[in-house]
Structure 1
């Protein structure tokens, strides 16, 4: 008879602590093929903790594929309603480095460090009675996380879901979405492909999303909260279609690991420019900065960020986007004051607890951080 001594596997959720990216790493438990050059990597915590995040958020993986670890940000495709495992679904492009390394090196049992979760692209922040999810390619991953959550927690939610791909084989999660629609009476699925397949019959929509097709598939689009994710040209096309249709863009949200194009500078950008202008007035001035865990004393030039000062002092603070978006460089400020202008990579409650994003925090005097 087989027995197990790992009693921790059978603990109830309220007996466990949530996963901490500061203390624990991820263990690969499963790798699944989803589509050509697309795989899902499923993780558990190496300390048997549970995962707390919002559907649609992302994590940053630290990939040891070069002399210096490579940091890559991936959207979580699983749902927090199933908190013992967490998954990312990734597509390897021809010039991929990090994703290709994952394909070739990760296997069940592999351990990998991760940071997060982070991001505001989630229906948690925008509750509504009706949604439109519109995605292309691997941009489906945050939509899948949200849809899985709705299936578990609010299966009667009204969701119009449009997914676009090059061929039928490239439609990620197609079979699972069709299965979910049996359990979600309000889920309206529409797939659009550009090319037919030699290997698979296709009787669905062909071509690209346009104004006529959007109006046909979602005639009540003006009543919906819209979430869009995919390549930037695709998201621009959707934005333009909605604007031309008179859609109130207050209810439009897109996932992008870069700055969303805008006609005027954002508040954060205006604040950053103000800091640069102020630093020019105090050129040459320096502030002491202490990195407590590294036991390093350094200096920060006026206008420099904590991250720049750390690098100059030989202290490594992990950083991926370096624009205040991903949250990877989050560190605890122990004393002093900084000017921080971020793009959503840190929560208000984390700021209240003293955390800052090193990449977009400029010391205003002597500062000590935990790094």
Structure 2
């Protein structure tokens, strides 16, 4: 008897275009585009990877890179979730022009920002805005596989209505144990009460959200300024940055052994091997110290009292004015940007850099 079943098609490769099958609105100026392979071939990728799309905009093709928001555990389709910024050209073309049935060329999948490379018992996913997309892919895969789950999932948005995938993630959290969702917004929606975290993500929030953060593998994605603030907050808490990973877009990888993770940027953090000196202008005292010591600790060593309360950059009691020099400060809301511009800093969470003179 002859077996007449068709031969397996294999997995999709980027020699075949992607066909748009649907465009789903998520929030204002945010859509999820769903693609399938015209041949019916399934997709193979690691959760957290990205694609580079070739968009036929007027004036010539435009190449834009987007993280895959769907999970490899659902291989028959592939989605990207994108937001149009005021100066967007490629995303604006997708929202205004791309329609079901149209095809676009793609390169990839590629990228190394994936939990597949860093398996762990506990994860801390931190994202802002559309930086939630790789976290959604990784979380959905864990959910679909029925694996043991211990994820603290933190997402920051301007308003509650702008949190992407909120309902979908909350549904997942009702079906499995161990998915702990934490939302942070800059401001509430006008007609909707907000009972979650509000303000700028900081060390205090991280400590409340994930008290065992030192034991977790951390993945972070968002604007560079956001990721830098997260790196600084974690470093200030004594986190081992070897277990920190962030999204870094680059050219699609080519086959071969060079698939290595992009290095985390050097944030020029205080170094215990580098010495500094603090001068207290009123008394004329000078105190040498390591860069890793806070100005508050240096003042106490010199016998100078600085009023203090929380010692965590929240209350603002230790606000001090700098006459000259630089300090490295990671605060938690106890000082305003205007005060920083005027030369003030919080002694409890600031490290001296080189020679610093303060008004005490």
Please report the TM-score for the alignment, with normalisation by the length of structure 1: 0.67
Q: 2:67: which partner in 1? A: 75
SS in structure 2 opposite 1:179? helix
Shift of 1:326: 2.3
1:109 is matched with which residue: 101, 106, 111? 101
**Equivalent-residue separation in structure 2 for 1:156 and 1:172 (angstroms):** 24
**Equivalent-residue separation in structure 2 for 1:241 and 1:180 (angstroms):** 29
Residue-by-residue CA offset, 1:182-240 (whole Å, 9 max, x unaligned): 12201010001010101323211111111111101110000000000001110000000
Q: 1:348: which partner in 2? A: 256
Asked if 1:18 is matched to 2:42, the reply is: no
SS in structure 2 opposite 1:15? coil
**Equivalent-residue separation in structure 1 for 2:210 and 2:255 (angstroms):** 34
Asked if 1:188 is matched to 2:180, the reply is: yes
Q: 1:172: which partner in 2? A: 164
**Equivalent-residue separation in structure 2 for 1:94 and 1:256 (angstroms):** 23
Please report the TM-score for the alignment, with normalisation by the length of structure 2: 0.69
Asked if 1:208 is matched to 2:116, the reply is: no
Shift of 1:16: 2.8
1:234 is matched with which residue: 226, 230, 233? 226
**Equivalent-residue separation in structure 1 for 2:119 and 2:147 (angstroms):** 15
Asked if the contact 1:90–1:99 (Cα under 8 Å) also holds between the matched residues in 2, the reply is yes
**Equivalent-residue separation in structure 1 for 2:17 and 2:246 (angstroms):** 29
Q: 1:91: which partner in 2? A: 83
Shift of 1:347: 4.4
Shift of 1:349: 5.4
Structure 1 residues 49 and 189 mapped into 2: Cα distance closer, same or farther (>3 Å)? same
Shift of 1:35: 1.2
Q: 1:197: which partner in 2? A: 189
Would you tell me which structure has more helix in proportion to its own residues?
Answer: 1
**Equivalent-residue separation in structure 2 for 1:179 and 1:155 (angstroms):** 17
Residue-by-residue CA offset, 1:62-117 (whole Å, 9 max, x unaligned): 00003220000000000010100000000000000000000000111111111100
Unmatched runs of 5 consecutive residues or more in structure 1: 1-10, 258-324, 328-344, 352-371
**Equivalent-residue separation in structure 2 for 1:67 and 1:26 (angstroms):** 22
**Equivalent-residue separation in structure 2 for 1:98 and 1:182 (angstroms):** 36
Q: 2:214: which partner in 1? A: 222
Residue-by-residue CA offset, 1:241-297 (whole Å, 9 max, x unaligned): 00011100000000022xxxxxxxxxxxxxxxxxxxxxxxxxxxxxxxxxxxxxxxx
**Equivalent-residue separation in structure 1 for 2:246 and 2:126 (angstroms):** 10
SS in structure 1 opposite 2:193? coil
2:251 is matched with which residue: 326, 341, 351? 326
**Equivalent-residue separation in structure 2 for 1:85 and 1:199 (angstroms):** 37
**Equivalent-residue separation in structure 2 for 1:350 and 1:246 (angstroms):** 31
Asked if 1:40 is matched to 2:36, the reply is: no
Q: 1:159: which partner in 2? A: 151
**Equivalent-residue separation in structure 1 for 2:82 and 2:161 (angstroms):** 15
Q: Which runs of structure 1 show a deviation greater than 6 angstroms over 4 or more consecutive aligned residues?
A: none
Number of residue-to-residue matches in the alignment: 255
Unmatched runs of 5 consecutive residues or more in structure 2: 260-360
Q: Report the structure number with the largest CA radius of gyration.
A: 2
Shift of 1:348: 2.8
Asked if the contact 1:155–1:183 (Cα under 8 Å) also holds between the matched residues in 2, the reply is no
SS in structure 2 opposite 1:135? strand
**Equivalent-residue separation in structure 2 for 1:215 and 1:153 (angstroms):** 29
Q: 1:143: which partner in 2? A: 135
Shift of 1:19: 0.5
Q: 1:100: which partner in 2? A: 92
**Equivalent-residue separation in structure 1 for 2:100 and 2:54 (angstroms):** 17
**Equivalent-residue separation in structure 2 for 1:164 and 1:50 (angstroms):** 33
